[in-house]
A = this chain, B = another copy of it.
Amino acid sequence: MWKKRTAVAEHVYIADTASFVTEKQAKIVIDYGGIPGDLHFGLTKKAGAREPMYKRGTEIFNRRQISIVSVEECLEIAGRLNIPAVLPEWLGANIALSGLPDLTSLREGSRIVFPSGASLLSEGENEPCIQPGEVIQEQFPDKPKLASRFVRHAMGRRGIVCIVERPGLIHQGDQAEVWAYSPAAMKDARSFA
């Protein structure tokens, strides 16, 4: 049911301009709704392309409050794109974790608990879109078609989105307890199809 792991918040970030690109911070404040001052902060958001069940612009609960990436997965994407690095900033990440090379496969319902008590609840995989690919393309103008190649190679490696389950602070270098959720055995044996 629960499997405990540890990870380290190598860096924490905020997007406090109109751009989704984030900047490193010494610490981030976590409240219900996300990181106050961050572009994605809010208990509600406007529905977009990721929510095809709503008319675009409909006010809905914000399940994409905080974005987390794994440094190992970022390196793997970079390797596949044949570029030296994919920085978490370019992906709009708020936290870059090390120690979870398969972060993106962490199941919805998993928790990431930090020393202050701040805790994040995974809402699952962050499926890659073209915008971060375009930011990567700007860094490496000599490499062809990086934006669309990013979407393909980042699939399953682009990290997760979280909601805040408990407020607190997250500092650069914090060690986190990762409570990986897996459903009861019987459930896995029965598909929804």
A164-193, CB < 8 A from B: 164-166, 177, 179-180, 183-184, 186-187, 189-193
| Chain A window 17-52, contacts with chain B (Cβ cutoff 8 Å), 1 for yes, 0 for no | 000000000000000100000000001100000001
Cα distance A60–B117 in the bound complex, in angstroms: 11
Query: What is the copy number of this chain in the assembly?
Result: 2
Given contacts A32-B44, A127-B184, A192-B105, contact A121 B61 (CB under 8 A): yes
- Given A60-B165, A121-B63, are A109 and B108 neighbors across the interface (CB < 8 Å)? yes
Shortest A27–chain B CB gap in Å is 21
Q: Which of B32, B106, B119 contacts A43 (CB 8 A)?
A: B32
- Which residues of B lie under 8 Å from residue A180 when comparing CB positions? 192
Chain A interfacial residues counted at CB < 8 A: 46
Q: Is the CB–CB distance between A113 and B53 below 8 Å?
A: yes
In the bound complex, do residue B187 and residue A156 qualify as a contact, i.e. CB atoms below 8 Å apart?
A: yes
Q: How far is the CA of A171 from the CA of B39 in the complex (A)?
A: 36
Tell me whether B166 and A54 are in contact (CB under 8 A): yes
List of B residues within 8 angstroms of A140 by Cβ: none
